[in-house]
Amino acid sequence: MAKIVFGMAVPHSGMLGQAPEDWLKNGERDRNNPQLWYRNRTWTYPELEAHREAAFEKYLTLEERTARAARCRAALDGMAAAYRDAKIDIAIILGKDQKEIFTDFSPSIAIYSGEEVHNGPPQRSVYAPDHHVTHPCHPQLATYLIDHFQKEGFDLTDLFAWPDNVWMKPLPEYPVVPHAYSFVYHQIMSDDPPPHVPIIMNCFYPPTQPSMSRCIEFGRVLRDAINAWPEDVRVGIFASGGLSHFVNDEEFDHRIMKMLAEYDYDGLAAVDDRSYQSGTSEIKLYVSVMKAVQETGAEMTLVDYVPCWRTPAGTGEGMGFMYWKAAD
C-alpha cells in the first residue's frame, strides 16, 4: 500500500529570487494596493503606514535585506535537501491559481488529471529554468483521488488540461503552470519532480474559498485515499505559499506556526476567516498537509522563519520554511 512519508510547506515569493537591492521595488505595488489585508480588514497603504507608525523603516537597509535574503537562500537549500533525503516516489502538490489560468471562473478545488505539466520561459528565473521543460504527472492517481473525494462529499473540478497562463508575456506555445507549482519544481525538486498530482485550491478569491475547517477535512480525506492506494510507493505532500503577505504580521505568523507544530486544528479553525485572506490564505494549504501527515507521527521541523519587509508600513512576506518527515 502507499505510504505518506513526507510533508512540506514552503513560500513561493518572487522576492526569493530577487537581489536584495531590488526588494524595495515591490513596495510600489503595495503603495498602490487599495486593499491590503491586515488584522481582519483591508487598509490603504497610507492608512497602514500611519497605523503601524512606519515602524519597519529600520529593516529596509541594504544590510538587513542582504542578511534576510541569505537566510532565505540557506533555508531553501535545507528544504531541498530534506526533500531529497525523503526519497519519495510520488508527490501531491497543493497550490492555488492567482488568475494566471482561471480568469473567467474560480473553481473551489480542482485536481489536474493530465499526463504532464510545462515550465520554462518566459516564467521568471526564480520559478523556472531558462528552457522549456515538461514534468510527468500521475493521471491514474489523480482520477482515483477525484473518485475518492467525490464519495466523501467533496464536489471537485477535474482539470483535463492546463489553460494558458496569461501572466506569461509573450504567451509561449506551451501552458506554463502557475507560479505556486513552478516554484516547487524549480527550487525544491531541481526541475526533476517525480510523477505527481497538482491540486488547485482557491484560497485567494471569495466567495468560493474553502474554509479552514474544510481544508482540514480535505487533508483527512487525502490521507485516507493515499493510504488505500494499492501501489507500494512513498508519497510526499507539498503546500506552496504563505505565510502572512502582503502585509507581514510576525505575531500572527508565530501564533500560526505554534498551532501547526502542535497539530492544533481547533485553534487554526477558530482564527477569524478574515485573517486568511489575500496571500495569507495559503496557510490553509499547510493545514491540509499537516492533517495528512499527522498519523505518521512526524514532528514539524521549522528550518527558519524570515520576515522580509519592503516598506515602512511592514508590507512584505513572512517566509516560513517547514517540513514533516515520518520516521522510517
Q: Residue range 251-255: average pLDDT? A: 97
Long-range residue pairs from 99-103, CB within 8 A, at least 24 positions apart, any chain: 99/166, 99/205, 100/165, 100/166, 100/167, 100/178, 100/179, 101/162, 101/163, 101/164, 101/165, 101/166, 101/175, 101/178, 102/163, 103/163, 103/166
pLDDT at position 306 is 98
Question: Positive or negative, the Cα torsion across 213, 218, 223, 228?
Answer: positive
Residue 246: asked if its preceding bond is cis (omega within 30°), the reply is: yes
pLDDT at position 327 is 82
Say how far apart CA 24 and CA 318 lie, in whole Å: 15
Q: Residue range 175-201: average pLDDT? A: 98
Per-residue pLDDT tens for 132-172?
999 999 999 999 999 999 999 999 999 999 999 999 999 99
Q: Residue range 42-62: average pLDDT? A: 97
Per-residue pLDDT tens for 216-247?
999 999 999 999 999 999 999 999 999 999 99
pLDDT class for 11, splitting at 50, 70, 90? very high
Say how far apart CA 97 and CA 32 lie, in whole Å: 22
Say how far apart CA 121 and CA 56 lie, in whole Å: 35
Average pLDDT of the chain?
Answer: 97
* CATH architecture of the domain with residue range 3-325: 3-Layer(aba) Sandwich (3.40)
Per-residue pLDDT tens for 80-127?
999 999 999 999 999 999 999 999 999 999 999 999 999 999 999 999
Q: Residue range 6-16: average pLDDT? A: 97
pLDDT surpasses 90 at 328: no
Percent of the chain with pLDDT over 90: 99
Q: Residue range 286-302: average pLDDT? A: 96
